[in-house]
Structure 1
Amino acid sequence: MSDPAIAVLMLLVLILAIFLGFPVAFTLMALGVAFGYYAYFDPHRMWRAFERAVENGADGWTLTETWVGGFFNNRIFDLFVNQTFSVISNDVLTAIPLFLFMGYIVERSNIVDRLFKTLFIATRNLPGSMAVAALVTCTLFATATGIVGAVVTLMGLLALPAMLKARYDVRYASGVICAGGTLGILIPPSILLIVYGATAGVSVVRMYAAALLPGLLLAGLYLIYVIGRAVLNPNLAPKPSKEEVGDHSFLEITWMMVTSFLPLALLILAVLGAILFGFATPSEAAAIGALGGVLLAAAYRALTWQRLKESTYLTARTTAMVCWLFVGSATFASVFAYLGGQQLVGDFVTGLNMSPLMFLIVAQLIIFILGWPLEWTEIIVIFIPIFLPLLAHFEIDPLFFGVLVAVNLQTAFLSPPMAMSAYYLKGIAPPGVQLPDIFYGMMPYMLIVILCMVILYTFPQIVYGLPNMIYGG
């Protein structure tokens, strides 16, 4: 069997192991080391060392040491150590634990409950006001945390029972929460964009600038859909009564917005502005955000030792997962390329004589399908590196490709049968909410994501406009 065939076998074993439920990071490392041992193994050097020991009259213990030493004298172990050190010392990745900590501490600070109630009162005259409030809250909270499961779960506990009590259609209500909760992996400061930037060698700062307008565009399309459905079919979202919203003056609503919406919005804008305008690196801005999250929790009197300990533990656990995924992916990718797998894939794709548009469609379709069984972290660190060397051939900017991937991965949480947002919501939803209803409610948003991708391809200046304006072409 040739080396490229071994590389293909390596990839097939990885896919099979993932579908069988093996831990992805450790599977990557194990396959990288196992197949790498074969790739880098030099039996002649091992036998020469053993023969020299025999010629020198070495005893049995020395011969055993020589044999064992020769067995482990394989460059794959050096590669594994070097990849581990490279990931751990990567300055770009230091922003991940800081942003995670900011998200976890904000999640546990009771800010979202106050924000949702305030936005509901402020938008009470809009069609589908409670759904609008839920979507805006999801967008802001998802931007602050970037953790889809946390946003969908928390908003499912806060907003879904309130909407059902207000006689909202269960499909309409659940779809809003599931779609809004996924926006955090697209709108900066997004951890996905940091991981993609580190994987693709693209500036994280430019990625943030490029993804901001597409993220707001997608959120705006969601908002248009929510209000439009409520206008066309008022039975989906009955108008709230005065008893449900209470009687509040303009000054009262303004004060509620100042004390609930403004602090979190300012925290996000401060972090994002510091990055985009060059006042701080992503890691430094993430540190500011983490400190701001702690101060915000303290200001709301929600900072306790237990919450601080939980946030720190969750941050360490998630960061370790991402870092070991990077180590495993880097080791796996190096061995895969050394065996000729990357060249084989490249020759196959370029031999199809596809146009750049067709390549983009095929690549995004593959990513869409991978989104069913895999998390976005696994897709970015395992499969995106396979596409990256092909971008130059098709003259596709990695920046533009990365934004399309970030938008596309919204569908990974919204497309049945493996839509994780639906399972997050079902886990905490009232007993009357069925999984098929949640799936049905999410489907329109998946079509909106596809529409957003078409708009971005048709008008690429939505992606390039802000980074070109701030940093030049």
Structure 2
Amino acid sequence: MIEHLAEWMPLWMFLTVALVLLLGYPVAFTLAGTALIFAFIGEAAGLFDPAFLAALPNRLFGIMTNETLIAVPLFVFMGVMLERSKVAENLLDTMSALFGSLRGGLGISVTLVGMLLAASTGIVGATVVTMGLLSLPTMLRRGYSPALASGTICAAGTLGQIIPPSIILVLLGDVLSSAYQQAQLDMGIFAPETVSVGDLFTGALIPGLILVGLYLIYLLLVAWLKPASMPAMDAAEVAALRGPGVIRRMSSALLPPLVLIVAVLGSIMGGLATPTEAASVGAMGAILLAISQRQFSLAILRDVARSTTQVTSMVFLILIGASVFSLVFRGYGGDELVAELLTGLPGGVFGAVLVVMLVMFLLGFVLDFIEITFVVVPIVGPILLAMGLDPVWLGVMIAINLQTSFLTPPFGFALFYLRGVAPAEVKTGQIYRGVVPFILIQLLMLGLLAAWPAIATWLPGVVYG
């Protein structure tokens, strides 16, 4: 009886965490607290060996000395500083001047600006809120369907999940590297290879651009089939945007972000810098861009530093809590239980990947990508990679999957971000309806990536040989 109870302890741990989170408790403390309570109960009942927790100091020291994770505060700083620099506002004006005369031109502009912001900041919440404040009132005033306008903004804002430099790709790169090494050791390979953040950045580039292309195709089709839902801008308004000095304004709006993107991604893909070093270049570049836009002061720097510290502290506190949880989970044999469940599924590797993706998609309703990355991926990652899956392909699949969950009603985080800044006349139901076509597009992208893994693996093979 006791052995049977111990066998299912990992499942009870996971269900307890889910229940406590639904009650509204902070994620980091929920993970660590639940794990310690189960460890105490298990030790008292003779079901858990407390020696597993002896590895915790080494885990924490490893987190503190992990150079890859230094990129997290640097990319966060870069994103928050760019948000304060009115980059989005200038880009939106520029794109509106270019595409405003077309039906659906403003929707196209929002999508392209979302892509550029994703490649500049990589922060979903900031992008959705900024785009919602800047473009949603304008789109509504120009006769756009509220549902279509809301869906376009949410979808464009979540591109920061997949287009590098994405925070989730930095975290996934670190977690998948450890999972890949563990999988190789389990297979008897004692000189294991690793997967780097640069590999994931390069692998995510083509899928991200294809996703943007699919968004644009959808918007053009809607503009053609339902022109009343996406009218062109007034000719006088377009003429005003294209007035004297338009070339200079376009250059000043487009060139600095593009130079920053090329400096960060180009240095990584060209082998000139590690992701951490490139992130420092991005952070410094964001400061210079803010100075050039006359949006820099000590007060702004103080606010940006404070926001960066808050986000970084949250990420690392969750990582510490997840480390405690994973140690206790493994102490109860949870990794062996998950391995048995996945390897015993019908369909082999396909069935295992399908179930993991479905579970992550559902968890995305209630958990942020950070918790899923730190809690779920270390458990299932070594198992899936031991089945022979490419780590870059798996990482990109997970990133797109989590991006989809950001949009899915009723708990998608992007929907909450937009609801918080949307005008009162935009109903919640309209926001939900607007994102459905984009969810289907993202699921199509997942299907394309599953059918042709080379979409994610070809470019890293070319760049890194």
TM-score (ref. length: structure 1): 0.90
Query: Residue type matched to 1:20 in 2?
Result: L
Matched, 1:451 2:444: yes
Residue 386 of structure 1 deviates from its aligned partner by: 2.1
Counterparts of 2:241 and 2:96 in 1: how far apart (Å)?
12
| Counterpart selection for 1:122 from 98, 114, 118 | 98
- With 271-280 and 234-243 compared, the bigger mean Cα shift is at 234-243
Counterparts of 1:200 and 1:174 in 2: how far apart (Å)?
34
Structure 2 partner of 1:61: none
Matched, 1:13 2:13: no
Residue 108 of structure 1 deviates from its aligned partner by: 0.5
Query: Residue type matched to 1:215 in 2?
Result: G
Superposed, 1:53-452 pairs within 5 Å as: 75=51, 78-201=54-177, 202-247=195-240, 252-452=245-445
Native 8 Å contact 1:168 1:238 kept in 2: yes
Residue 126 of structure 1 deviates from its aligned partner by: 2.8
1:73-126 per-residue CA deviation (whole Å, 9 max, x = no partner) reads 964664332222211111110000000000000001112111101110111233
- Residue 239 of structure 1: SS of its match in structure 2? coil
Shift of the 309–383 alpha-carbon distance from structure 1 to 2, 3 Å rule, reads: same
Identity, % of aligned pairs? 38
Counterparts of 1:471 and 1:295 in 2: how far apart (Å)?
31
Native 8 Å contact 1:33 1:76 kept in 2: no
Residue 338 of structure 1 deviates from its aligned partner by: 1.9
Q: Which structure 1 residue ranges, 5 or more long, are not aligned? A: 44-72
Counterparts of 2:303 and 2:114 in 1: how far apart (Å)?
22
Query: Residue type matched to 2:87 in 1?
Result: I
Counterparts of 1:369 and 1:42 in 2: how far apart (Å)?
33
TM-score (ref. length: structure 2): 0.91
- With 389-398 and 231-240 compared, the bigger mean Cα shift is at 389-398
Counterparts of 1:432 and 1:360 in 2: how far apart (Å)?
42
Counterparts of 2:231 and 2:264 in 1: how far apart (Å)?
38
1:304-341 per-residue CA deviation (whole Å, 9 max, x = no partner) reads 22211111111111111111211121221122112111
Residue 439 of structure 1 deviates from its aligned partner by: 0.5
Counterparts of 2:435 and 2:377 in 1: how far apart (Å)?
26
1:332-384 per-residue CA deviation (whole Å, 9 max, x = no partner) reads 11221121111012112222343222222221111111111111111111112
Larger radius of gyration: 1
Counterparts of 1:247 and 1:312 in 2: how far apart (Å)?
38
- With 90-99 and 200-209 compared, the bigger mean Cα shift is at 200-209
Counterparts of 2:431 and 2:143 in 1: how far apart (Å)?
16
Structure 2 partner of 1:26: 29
Q: CA RMSD in A?
A: 1.9
Query: Residue type matched to 1:194 in 2?
Result: V
Native 8 Å contact 2:204 2:396 kept in 1: yes
Native 8 Å contact 2:96 2:109 kept in 1: yes
Native 8 Å contact 1:88 1:323 kept in 2: no
- With 444-453 and 415-424 compared, the bigger mean Cα shift is at 415-424
Number of equivalenced pairs: 443
Structure 2 partner of 1:54: none
Native 8 Å contact 1:188 1:208 kept in 2: yes
- With 34-43 and 170-179 compared, the bigger mean Cα shift is at 34-43
Query: Residue type matched to 1:298 in 2?
Result: I
Counterparts of 2:387 and 2:125 in 1: how far apart (Å)?
36
- Residue 409 of structure 1: SS of its match in structure 2? helix
Query: Residue type matched to 1:18 in 2?
Result: L
1:25-69 per-residue CA deviation (whole Å, 9 max, x = no partner) reads 1111223333334556799xxxxxxxxxxxxxxxxxxxxxxxxxx
Counterparts of 2:34 and 2:420 in 1: how far apart (Å)?
34
Counterparts of 1:90 and 1:31 in 2: how far apart (Å)?
26
Q: Which structure 2 residue ranges, 5 or more long, are not aligned? A: 178-194
Shift of the 372–74 alpha-carbon distance from structure 1 to 2, 3 Å rule, reads: closer
